[in-house]
Structure 1
Amino acid sequence: MMAAQVPGFYMKNESRRVKIPFIDSNSLVIIPVSVNGSEPINFLFDTGVKSNIFFSKTIADELGMQYTRKLNLVGADGQTVLSASVSPNNHFDLGEIEGIYQAALVLDEDFLELEKVIGIPIYGVVGHEFFKSNPVKIDYDNAEVTIYRSSALKWKPFGFRSMPMELIGNKPYVNTTIRQIEGPEIPAKLLIDTGANHGLLLNRETTDEIVLPPLTLETDLGRSLGGDLFGLVGRVRRVEMQGLKFRGVITSYPDQTEFSDVIIETGRQGSIGAELLNRIKIIFDYPRERVLLKKGAKFSEQFDYDMSGLMIRVLSAENKRFYVSQVRENSPASLQGVQLYDEIVAINKVPAYFWELADITNLFRSEEGRVITLEILRGTGTEEEAPEKLRISFVLKKQL
């Protein structure tokens, strides 16, 4: 067909729709993709990025990816410079869907290290190209992505609400209303970012009307392309999208960076991430510049935040090794003596190799008053000195 000569993602066999299961890790959409005939490798499908990105040049070389030029990218902290190679023509195979003539930025070094944050190997990101031509539904309840024929969905499906969406720099933006705990109710243009694991993020530098809530915690907000983000986390009273009201949303307030000017230029006040999106079924209809929304099974669940004071990261996904990457001051875990870089051997007598990172995150958010017992190793473990083995218990307590 003629359309297949244009770079994009297409159904191999024309039908009204095709469903693809995805791996759900903390509500991020991860799909195995065969690149240039390779064995399938995991990619994050992310509306928040313009270009396809490949994290490992070593593996890209093994897959026969060819390069035409080099680029220097400025990271999200406005300072870190990442070098990347442009690979203009690749084939992505998702089973019944294929991406043809796909360009990708191949990072010379994997600055994101998403495996440490997500808990499973992630080799790259698929961005705007996947969403640009066909309506795409993400069903978090069933961990399914549905790709519709481009001419389908001329009318909105039963039970869905239609909401105007604006594409700026190939990224989707919607207008919402935010009711703050303190400060005015504000209209907010927000990026819909399926690749971010926050609920709501507000950039205070974009408007004086964003007011911090009375209760906040200082924390590491995670890593985006080329930079770690730090700031505060709190709650807003309500986020409203086309009549859907999300209450008590956990909200990140990042510190201002050199990248803030770019954010201000888009006219946005922040972004919506997976912790909010996983409560709805959402259809991205880029050709008609709209999103379609419907309540999901988790819609009425409260937004929970960590009650331990710990941020856990993966030392080795293959060997199921976890370590403490952050200890919040005066939190339940810190008061009982858990320290930065402690390696977790077992949680509540269950060995670490039985846990997934997402399960640990959910456990630490689960129930105020729950007792958590960690078995940890502390120290370098050199030949001269074996690591110290400790057992530390603490009680989960709400921080927000």
Structure 2
Amino acid sequence: MNHRIAVLLFLCFFFIEKGISQVPGFYMKEEKRKVQIPFYASNNLIILPVSINGNYPVNFLVDTGVRANILFSKSLGDAMELSYSRELNLVGADGAASLVAFVSPSNHLDLGPLEGTFQNLLVLEEDFLELEKVIGIPIYGIIGYEFFKYNPIKIDYDQEMISFYQRGALKWKPLFYKKLDMIIEGQKPYIEAKVKQENGPVLETKLLIDTGANHGLLLNKETSNDIFLPNRFIETQLGQSLGGELFGFIGRVKNLKIKNMRLDEVLTSYPEETPFSYVIKESGRQGSLGSEVLGRMNMIYDYPRERVLIQKGDNFYQPFEYDMSGMSLKKVPTEENRIYVSQVRVNSPASEVGIVTFDEILSINKVPIFIWELHEIIKLFRSEDGKEIDLEIRRYEGEDIEKYEDLQFRIVLEKQI
């Protein structure tokens, strides 16, 4: 499925309220060389429980591609008794859609051995991203630049562990890590990499490091006349933004070189140009690296020294695989584990057997759907060309949930790119 969780939130600016004399940031509760926090990884996205002002912890996404801390729901913010200093009207990526958000100043974020002090939150009136639908578990907000700005932070995807170091630690490069210069612009991190295309020249690229996006490599065609689509590609939905669904193409590049580490046949997203593409052009970047690439490495982000340290992870050389079923799936955001088909690609295995949009999956290979996690289904549908999968489907008649037909299908996975 490879949804691009498009936190292309041009609304996500870094804001600082006046009148706060203390320095906002994330700090250790007890002075140590480092503290460690386990995280939950879903398709290599980094999810942490966060308690706001002493309230019950809720899941937040750790996202280097976003400047502000964000809470997705004002109703949740109200339940937490947050205070708001001002209201904002935000414009979406299509130049037309709008959304109301509220600034909540000076909050305390608790992450166990760490605390975020005097943290501002951008509280959205409504959750337009609905990340639970594409990740499979509830996500209530995002931690952005504030988490990284003062201290070296190691993200070990193999162990699913974050190490938060004292600011003065890691003066020297650890053994077996490679050092890259990292540019911090507009509170976002960038590195340089080489991209060897199938149809075009080798690209010398400036790429945003985006831990909150679950693509591999993303290239914005509008930023360079030297970016070309490969011979084989799929047109599909890439993700969600304030302006609605984002569409574009999925293909592959021959290889991606970061320092002297090479990844071959990398799945690459090519989004369509939007009215806000000028923001990307002005940044000087040609694209971004998402979790499908970042999750193959263990990385130390050292914002104060403007460097990133990289070590190959256990799955560095595993092939990049895309969905072979032809279906995009989403979870119904309820306590029940209900999965439905959100998109069916033309001429795909799913479309050829007659599966259609909004079909609900009841079982996979005779295993009831409540046993499955969404990321497990995604992994299965990427697993093996020629693999047969039996599906039990419920098809509703219009909007009447009392009228439906249960159907049986067998699809044969087919590698399309």
TM-score, shorter chain, exceeding 0.5: yes
| Cross-structure match for 1:70 | 87
> How much has 1:80 moved relative to structure 2?
2.3
- Aligned partner of 1:213: which letter? P
1:392 paired with 2:409, answer yes
Distance in structure 1 (CA, Å) of the matches to 2:246 and 2:412: 28
| Cross-structure match for 2:331 | 314
| Cross-structure match for 1:152 | 169
Distance in structure 2 (CA, Å) of the matches to 1:190 and 1:145: 23
1:247 paired with 2:264, answer yes
- Aligned partner of 1:254: which letter? P
> How much has 1:225 moved relative to structure 2?
4.5
Tell me the secondary structure at the aligned position of residue 263 of structure 1. Answer: helix
| Cross-structure match for 1:288 | 305
> How much has 1:373 moved relative to structure 2?
1.1
Partners of 1:137 and 1:147 within 8 A in 2: yes
- 1:296-341 per-residue CA deviation (whole Å, 9 max, x = no partner) reads 0010101000000000000135200000000000001110001000
> How much has 1:75 moved relative to structure 2?
2.5
Aligned mate of 2:149, from 132, 152, 172: 132
| Cross-structure match for 1:275 | 292
Q: Residues 321-340 of structure 1: matches in 2 within 5 Å?
A: 321-340=338-357
Distance in structure 1 (CA, Å) of the matches to 2:236 and 2:286: 20
> How much has 1:381 moved relative to structure 2?
7.6
Distance change in 2, residues 1:130/1:226 (3 Å): farther
Q: Give the CA RMSD over aligned residues.
A: 1.3
Distance in structure 2 (CA, Å) of the matches to 1:104 and 1:274: 24
Distance in structure 1 (CA, Å) of the matches to 2:299 and 2:82: 33
Distance in structure 2 (CA, Å) of the matches to 1:155 and 1:225: 42
Distance in structure 1 (CA, Å) of the matches to 2:401 and 2:332: 23
| Cross-structure match for 1:213 | 230
Partners of 1:307 and 1:396 within 8 A in 2: yes
Distance change in 2, residues 1:201/1:96 (3 Å): same
Tell me the secondary structure at the aligned position of residue 288 of structure 1. Answer: coil
> How much has 1:76 moved relative to structure 2?
3.3
- 1:351-388 per-residue CA deviation (whole Å, 9 max, x = no partner) reads 11001110010000001111111111101487796211
Tell me the secondary structure at the aligned position of residue 129 of structure 1. Answer: helix
Distance in structure 2 (CA, Å) of the matches to 1:149 and 1:42: 25
- Aligned partner of 1:91: which letter? H
1:107 paired with 2:124, answer yes
Q: Residues 46-57 of structure 1: matches in 2 within 5 Å?
A: 46-57=63-74
1:179 paired with 2:196, answer yes
- Aligned partner of 1:177: which letter? K
> How much has 1:6 moved relative to structure 2?
1.1
> How much has 1:259 moved relative to structure 2?
1.1
- 1:190-236 per-residue CA deviation (whole Å, 9 max, x = no partner) reads 00000000000000000000011000100000113543210000000
Aligned mate of 2:391, from 370, 374, 389: 374
1:120 paired with 2:137, answer yes
- Aligned partner of 1:264: which letter? K
Q: TM-score, normalised by structure 1?
A: 0.97
Q: TM-score, normalised by structure 2?
A: 0.93
Distance in structure 1 (CA, Å) of the matches to 2:283 and 2:100: 24
- Aligned partner of 2:36: which letter? K
Distance change in 2, residues 1:300/1:122 (3 Å): same
Tell me the secondary structure at the aligned position of residue 61 of structure 1. Answer: helix
Distance in structure 2 (CA, Å) of the matches to 1:395 and 1:146: 42
Q: Which runs of 5+ in 2 are unaligned?
A: 1-20
Q: Which runs of 5+ in 1 are unaligned?
A: none
Tell me the secondary structure at the aligned position of residue 159 of structure 1. Answer: coil
How many equivalent pairs are there? 397
Tell me the secondary structure at the aligned position of residue 147 of structure 2. Answer: helix
